[in-house]
Amino acid sequence: MKKSAAIKCSALLFFTILIFPGTEFCRADEPVILKQSELLTNSRLKLSDSTAKKKPKEFNMKKDPWKAVLFSALLPGAGQYYNESYWKIPVVLGLGGYFGYVIINNNNKYTDYKDRYEQSQTINNPDGDPQLKTFRDFYKDQRDDFAVYALILYVVNLIDAYVDAQLFDFDVSDSKSFPNSRMTLKINF
């Protein structure tokens, strides 16, 4: 009976160590010696955290998110430059330039087909040429769609600048270390 209780206690202790790997159960300068009866009846293991006495470091962000948003609002891509995400600048400017070109091109074609359609309307034919009307409506819709795409790109540019500034200090390196990785547990039977 005593051996099964000791095995259960050892298993419980083992799983506790697995669950709380960074916790120091005892300080290195204060060894805990418990008798088997004390261990089974009243577990006096104390969790002590040596870092509780230290003041936590105050975290200061290196990049201001609202400053990045302001830069991107004034000049798309400037917030990405501020956040040192240089590869995003050609993406933002390239898409913005493409959308601007398509908007201008479709607007020119829309005005051309609008003028041609108005010229095709006569007293004898008040409805005008239906094919010219179809082209006019098509280029107007395309112009409006790409204006919406450009607006979405502008908003995504602002959101990206904000999030990138927020995550600028986030460490994504493969090497991780835990400051309290030393653990000591002494039990004598």
pLDDT along the chain (189 residues), means of 10: 58 56 49 52 47 67 89 94 93 96 97 94 87 95 97 96 89 63 64
Residues 69 and 150 in one domain: yes
Residues 76 and 107 in one domain: yes
Domain assignment of residue 105, yes or no: yes
* Angle between helical axes of 130-166 and 88-120 (0-180°, round to 10): 160
Residues contacting 107, CB < 8 A, separation 6+: 139, 143
Q: How far apart are CA 121 and CA 166, in angstroms?
A: 58
- pLDDT value of position 56: 74
What global pTM score does this model have?
0.59
Domain containing residue 27: 2-52
Domain assignment of residue 32, yes or no: yes
Taking the CB of residue 115, how many other CB atoms lie within 10 A of it? 12
Residues 110 and 156 in one domain: yes
- pLDDT value of position 142: 97
Residues 69 and 155 in one domain: yes
- pLDDT value of position 170: 80
Taking the CB of residue 159, how many other CB atoms lie within 10 A of it? 13
The count of structural domains within the chain is 2
Residues 37 and 83 in one domain: no
Domain assignment of residue 151, yes or no: yes
Report how far apart the first and last C-alpha atoms of the chain are (Å, whole number). Answer: 16
- pLDDT value of position 137: 96
Domain assignment of residue 58, yes or no: no
Write out pLDDT tens, residues 43-90: 444 444 454 556 777 777 788 889 999 999 999 999 999 999 999 999
* Angle between helical axes of 130-166 and 65-74 (0-180°, round to 10): 150
Q: How far apart are CA 59 and CA 26, in angstroms?
A: 30
Give the CA-trace dihedral at 44, 49, 53, 55, to 10 degrees.
-160
Q: How far apart are CA 113 and CA 98, in angstroms?
A: 22
